[in-house]
């Protein structure tokens, strides 16, 4: 009987492929191991064995596996199950999941190369003469420098430090490389190579104890533990600075003491810095951090350690850490669970890491905790309906008062000519008070770049990207116009290309402009800026945060970045410069987002000994949402929002699936999308919307069309996917549409 294996390759197309297992391999081949397999003409890939069976594929010949790469499985059983779930639920191929989940270093055939480092020590010969330094002296009598190096090394070796890297030895002895090479040449020193870890391991600093919980925190902690006895998922709704992180730490500790692992998800790497250093103090080397800035080689080391015996107990990471191998997962924490950045947009799998993490927890029989000061409507709804446990924490740690929130009517201030640039007199006054008291201020803006949108004052012309259907943003530092979708840039034209006018002016405000205005208003204040433009790398985030944290800057101006749960001690005032642009965003979640954004930014205000102030500038001060913000009234927002969602059947009263079409040619993509819609519409009456051109209808030279499905929760998603897949097949059978790319976005955000 021949033996076959189904192999998933890290490629976008299709599902698992069946290969013949060579006789000699049958005993050692296991599910989860990597194999090298041939594909097409002369190509070879590394794939993962997902099933071993004895059914020959019907109607086609089948190639043979080249080589078995692993002795022990690289993917664990539950992990494979989870990856399969992800492909099914998010309507993509197992290959796409594998491509996203496996570090690059594990996808290639060449083996991962461990990092080596060269170390210098006294040679055996010299070590033996150490008892008799006189002999050495004689030997080195003619070279003072060499004598000096050897004396130093002998002394240190006696104290228990026998090895040096070359740079360390050169700097400690202030000797050149030639001196050391000379000693090596004479056989007095020897060089060894050693394998070292790329992962920074903490030196044996004593671990800090967990801090005792306050009375309110203890109650919340107990309620969470109790709720887990009945429901595996619990929502912790705790106001900003109530000490949710402190509660997580206690729960993690409990879990680790039972010998179980914890996955702690965070939405952004910007956040990991502050929280990781807090966690490192308590959990030291038993934890690892996993995010996009971790190098590929480090990813391989983390993976290997997780599948090995001496595994990490706590993994702190961003969304991609759901793909890691876990042997005994006991708890999943999703911090800031409302954050939209948990959703992967591009490429597939377009998964929501919070929802995926809940599934991961379910597969492991682990508990899950969702934490937020402003829960997502969806999660809160599940808590209200009793599907999740629900624990609230409504006081801040140390009973700090929540900030006072003032609403400033920009429209009438402008009419009375009382605005100074982008600032209301109240906001200027509050910033001044904060600076005088030696405190700090934070200003939030819903945009990025300097004067993001330019237009001609006489004819209204705006510069647009030639490749994407969007306006270009003006970046003052470079003096260029830039597309935020494809990166196209061009210089700012001197005159309007449409009418020849010289007056091309800005219509919005950006962080750079605010910085300039602030500099004029408060010349002595030290300004920091934190937006996506200056956040090119992790070091930049860290520097901007550290500068503000350590009070090297007085005012921090920023965009969405500022909302990410950062904890600063001396922020007396927070300004939200234009609430309208947040509230008026064209999306059904705009109000939910605006509430979350404003509450989260407000949460940065407040100090131990003084109540913080938030100034919200708006042209629409009577907006009901602003009332909910002023009164910190999550429930009011939730109730009003649920009414709207019900009226227009938006989630949680429905679920959404978007079908996207991409092609170079605008009319081809439009016709393809129309055909597709006409095929599925009869089967899904009143549930198919579009096709339409999305707000940005062209990206990187490809035209886009979108069909939106709004499905009642009673329909089976797997049934619907069958329709969608069969329509896709029909479309691709048509020679006109063969090259139209199609993908699904399940639960789009």
Q: In whole angstroms, give the CA distance from residue 441 to residue 425.
A: 15
Residues forming beta bridges with residue 233, ordered by sequence position: 368
Nearer to ligand ADP, 42 or 277 (CB): 277
**Cβ 624 to ligand ADP, closest distance in Å?**
26
**Cβ 393 to ligand ADP, closest distance in Å?**
7
DSSP assignment of 113-129: PPEEEEEEEE-HHHHHH
Selected range binding ligand ADP among 159-167, 195-203, 240-248, 304-312, rule: CB under 6 A: 240-248
Using CB under 6 A as the binding rule, the residues of this chain from 376 to 435 that contact ligand ADP are 397
Q: In whole angstroms, give the CA distance from residue 33 to residue 602.
A: 50
Nearer to ligand ADP, 281 or 457 (CB): 281
Selected range binding ligand ADP among 177-185, 206-214, 606-614, 658-666, rule: CB under 6 A: 206-214
Q: Are 506 and 513 in contact (CB under 8 A)?
A: yes
Binding mask 451-480 for Zn ion (x = CB under 5 A): -----x--x-x---x-xx------------
Q: Which CA distances in Å does 376 have to 61, 227, 366, 639, 710?
A: 51, 20, 22, 13, 19
| Residue 244 contact, options Zn ion, ligand ADP, none, Cβ 5-8 Å cut-off depending on partner type | ligand ADP
Residue 486 makes contact with Zn ion by CB under 5 A: yes
Exactly one of 241, 313, 455, 563 binds ligand ADP (CB under 6 A); which one? 241
Please give the DSSP secondary-structure letter assigned to residue 560. G
142, 146, 149, 153: CA torsion to nearest 10: -80
507, 617, 521, 452: CA torsion to nearest 10: -20
Q: Are 180 and 172 in contact (CB under 8 A)?
A: no
Nearer to Zn ion, 463 or 612 (CB): 463
Closest residue (Cβ) to ligand ADP? 243
Using CB under 5 A as the binding rule, the residues of this chain from 710 to 729 that contact Zn ion are none
Binding mask 501-520 for Zn ion (x = CB under 5 A): x-------------------
Q: In whole angstroms, give the CA distance from residue 426 to residue 431.
A: 9
Residue 217 makes contact with ligand ADP by CB under 6 A: yes
Q: In whole angstroms, give the CA distance from residue 678 to residue 672.
A: 10
**Cβ 335 to ligand ADP, closest distance in Å?**
8
Residue 695 makes contact with Zn ion by CB under 5 A: no
Q: In whole angstroms, give the CA distance from residue 489 to residue 506.
A: 17
Q: Are 688 and 707 in contact (CB under 8 A)?
A: yes
Q: Which CA distances in Å does 424 have to 421, 450, 507, 509?
A: 8, 20, 18, 15
Exactly one of 79, 129, 227, 245 binds ligand ADP (CB under 6 A); which one? 245
| Pair of tokens at residue 708 | 């939106």
Selected range binding ligand ADP among 15-23, 207-215, 356-364, 411-419, rule: CB under 6 A: 207-215
Q: In whole angstroms, give the CA distance from residue 489 to residue 384.
A: 49
Nearer to ligand ADP, 214 or 471 (CB): 214
| Residue 246 contact, options ligand ADP, Zn ion, none, Cβ 5-8 Å cut-off depending on partner type | ligand ADP
**Cβ 275 to ligand ADP, closest distance in Å?**
8
| Residue 501 contact, options ligand ADP, Zn ion, none, Cβ 5-8 Å cut-off depending on partner type | Zn ion
| Residue 488 contact, options ligand ADP, Zn ion, none, Cβ 5-8 Å cut-off depending on partner type | Zn ion
| Residue 456 contact, options ligand ADP, Zn ion, none, Cβ 5-8 Å cut-off depending on partner type | Zn ion
CB atoms under 10 Å from CB of 598, counted, come to: 26
Q: Which CA distances in Å does 745 have to 347, 354, 708, 717?
A: 10, 16, 9, 13
Residue 488 makes contact with Zn ion by CB under 5 A: yes
DSSP assignment of 261-274: EEEEE-S-HHHHHH
Selected range binding ligand ADP among 186-194, 210-218, 535-543, 668-676, rule: CB under 6 A: 210-218
**Cβ 234 to ligand ADP, closest distance in Å?**
15
Q: In whole angstroms, give the CA distance from residue 95 to residue 349.
A: 10
CA 472: distance to chain centroid? 26
**Cβ 499 to Zn ion, closest distance in Å?**
3
| Residue 499 contact, options ligand ADP, Zn ion, none, Cβ 5-8 Å cut-off depending on partner type | Zn ion
Binding mask 255-274 for Zn ion (x = CB under 5 A): --------------------
Nearer to Zn ion, 104 or 695 (CB): 695
Q: Which CA distances in Å does 501 have to 222, 498, 634?
A: 68, 8, 49
Contacts to Zn ion by CB under 5 A: 456, 459, 461, 465, 467-468, 483, 485-486, 488, 496, 498-499, 501
Contacts to ligand ADP by CB under 6 A: 211, 213-214, 217, 238, 240-246, 397, 567
């Amino acid at each position: 009987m021949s033996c076959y294996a189904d192999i998933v390759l890290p490629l976008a197309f299709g599902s698992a492929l069946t290969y013949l297992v060579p006789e000699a391999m049958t005993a050692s081949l296991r599910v989860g191991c990597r194999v090298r397999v041939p594909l097409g003409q002369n190509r070879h890939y590394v794939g993962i064995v997902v099933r071993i069976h004895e059914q020959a594929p019907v109607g086609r010949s089948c190639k043979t596996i080249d080589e078995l790469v692993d002795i022990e499985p690289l993917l664990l059983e539950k992990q494979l199950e989870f990856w399969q779930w992800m492909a099914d639920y998010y309507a993509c191929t197992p290959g796409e999941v594998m491509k996203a989940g496996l570090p690059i270093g594990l996808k290639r055939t060449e083996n991962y190369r461990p990092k080596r480092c060269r170390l210098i020590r006294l040679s055996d010969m010299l070590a033996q003469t150490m008892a008799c330094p006189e002999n050495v002296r004689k030997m080195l009598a003619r070279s003072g420098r060499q004598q000096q190096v050897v004396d130093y090394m002998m002394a240190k070796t006696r104290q228990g430090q026998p090895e040096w890297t070359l740079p360390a030895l050169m700097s400690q002895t202030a000797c050149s490389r030639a001196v050391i090479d000379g000693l090596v040449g004479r056989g007095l020193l020897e060089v060894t190579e050693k394998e070292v870890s790329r992962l920074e391991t903490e030196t044996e600093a004593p671990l800090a104890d967990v801090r005792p919980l306050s009375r309110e925190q203890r109650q919340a902690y107990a309620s969470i533990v109790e709720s887990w006895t009945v429901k595996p998922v619990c929502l912790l709704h705790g106001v900003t600075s109530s000490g949710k992180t402190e509660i997580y730490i206690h729960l993690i500790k409990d879990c680790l003491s039972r010998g179980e692992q914890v996955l702690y998800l965070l939405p952004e790497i910007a956040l990991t810095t502050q929280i990781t250093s807090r966690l490192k103090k308590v959990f030291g080397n038993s934890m690892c951090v996993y995010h996009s800035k971790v190098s590929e080689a480090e990813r391989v080391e983390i993976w290997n350690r997780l599948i090995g015996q001496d595994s990490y107990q706590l993994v702190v990471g961003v969304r991609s850490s759901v793909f890691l191998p876990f042997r005994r997962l006991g708890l999943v924490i999703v911090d800031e669970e409302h954050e939209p950045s948990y959703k992967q947009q591009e490429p597939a799998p377009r998964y929501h890491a919070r929802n995926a993490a809940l599934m991961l927890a379910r597969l492991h029989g682990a508990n899950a905790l969702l934490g937020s000061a402003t829960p997502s409507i969806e999660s809160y709804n599940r808590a209200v309906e009793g599907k999740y446990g629900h624990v609230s924490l409504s006081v801040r740690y140390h009973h700090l008062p929540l900030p006072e929130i003032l609403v400033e009517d920009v429209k009438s201030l402008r009419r009375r000519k009382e605005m100074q640039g982008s600032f209301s007199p109240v906001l200027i006054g509050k910033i001044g008070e904060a600076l005088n008291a030696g405190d700090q201020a934070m200003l939030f803006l819903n945009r990025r770049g300097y004067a993001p949108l330019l237009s001609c004052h006489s004819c209204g012309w705006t510069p647009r990207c030639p490749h994407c259907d969007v306006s270009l943003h003006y970046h003052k530092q470079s003096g260029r116009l830039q597309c935020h979708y494809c990166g196209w840039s061009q210089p700012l034209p001197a005159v309007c290309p449409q009418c020849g006018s010289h007056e091309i002016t800005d219509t919005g405000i950006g962080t750079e402009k605010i910085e300039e205005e602030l500099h004029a208003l408060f010349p002595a204040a030290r300004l920091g800026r934190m937006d996506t433009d200056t956040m090119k790398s992790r070091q930049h985030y860290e520097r901007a945060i550290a500068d503000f944290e350590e009070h090297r800057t007085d005012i921090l101006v920023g965009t969405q970045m500022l909302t990410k749960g950062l904890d600063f001690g001396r922020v007396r005032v927070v300004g939200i410069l234009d609430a309208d642009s947040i509230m008026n965003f064209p999306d059904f979640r705009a109000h939910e987002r605006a509430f979350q954004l404003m509450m989260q930014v407000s949460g940065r205000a407040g100090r131990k000994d003084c109540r913080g102030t938030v100034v919200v500038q708006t042209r629409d001060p009577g907006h009901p949402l602003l009332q909910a913000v002023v009164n910190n009234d999550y429930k009011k927002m939730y109730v009003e929002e649920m009414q709207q969602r019900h009226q227009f059947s938006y989630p949680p009263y429905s679920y959404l699936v978007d079908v996207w079409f991409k092609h170079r040619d605008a009319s081809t993509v439009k016709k393809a999308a129309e055909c597709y819609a006409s095929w599925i519409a009869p089967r899904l009456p009143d549930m198919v919307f579009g096709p339409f051109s999305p707000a940005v209808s062209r990206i990187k030279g490809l035209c886009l069309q979108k069909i939106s499905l709004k499905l009642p929760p009673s329909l089976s998603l797997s049934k619907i996917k069958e329709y969608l897949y069969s329509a896709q097949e029909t479309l691709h059978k048509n020679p006109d549409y063969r090259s139209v790319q199609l993908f699904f976005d399940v639960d789009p955000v």
